[in-house]
Amino acid sequence: MCEADACQCELAALPDDAALREKIQLEKAVPDNWDAYDTVFIGYPIWWGIAAWPVDVFVEANDFSGKKVVTFATAYSSPLGNSGKLLSEMAGDKGQWQDGTCFTGSLSNDKVRAWVKALK
């Protein structure tokens, strides 16, 4: 039994319960003008060592062929881990997936700008 309130208990169960995940849908899984994008940044929180499950829905709904994909995450202290690799596999290894970074702790605009400038 979860000791937290009911909402937190349901959130904690989401990664393992498809029925609960179906209750919460993305408003739009495929962005307008998707074909016009050459580079796609996918940002997400790290949940239990992987990308938050709503990102899975986005990745499964889109064709990344011909696109450069850069992943990045936010977490209090968790690393990026294999989350980018798992998303690439979920996308059928379509596109050129580049490992990004996991921003932990406090974050500044300067830190993000420096990271983006360092990308190839």
The whole-number average pLDDT for the span 11-36 is: 75
Q: Which residue has the tokens 């996308």?
A: 91
Give yes or no for a contact between 25 and 55, defined as CB atoms under 8 angstroms apart: no
Per-residue pLDDT at 19:
72
Cα 92 to its chain centre, rounded Å, is 16
The whole-number average pLDDT for the span 76-88 is: 87
Give yes or no for a contact between 72 and 89, defined as CB atoms under 8 angstroms apart: no
pLDDT tens digits, one per residue of 24-81: 777 888 999 999 999 999 999 988 778 888 898 899 999 999 999 999 998 887 888 8
